[in-house]
Amino acid sequence: MNWKLISDNWEILSGIVVSVFAFFGGRKTKKNEEQSGELENLSKVREIEKSLLLDMEEQIKKLVEYNDRLEHICGKQRCLIDRYEKEFGKLEKTA
């Protein structure tokens, strides 16, 4: 190998070597930043999902309460209808 050629052009060679390292280092840094961005987005999605699940649970509890009330009211109405039918006979359905 010609050491004189290398020593005469060391600035150019070092620039090439540094450029290669910078290129691959930049690619790795970019990849790491993309992965960390994806992780941040994933954690935000998880938080939103938890919030939505809590909201759904609350709405389901309310629906169960309303359903229980309606069943109670329907039961009372059924008892009143049964009592009426015993006293006055069957109700006729109208179209």
CA neighbours closer than 13 Å in the CB half-sphere of residue 36: 6
pLDDT digits (tens, 9 = 90+) for 12-33: 778 888 888 888 877 888 787 8
Report the alpha-carbon distance of residue 25 to residue 14 in Å, rounded: 16
Domain residue extents for the chain: 15-88
pTM for this prediction:
0.49
- pLDDT higher at 48 or 2: 48
Summarize pLDDT for 38-79 with one digit per residue, the tens: 888 888 989 999 999 999 999 999 999 999 999 999 999 999
Residues 6 or more apart whose CB falls under 8 angstroms from that of 85 comprise 91
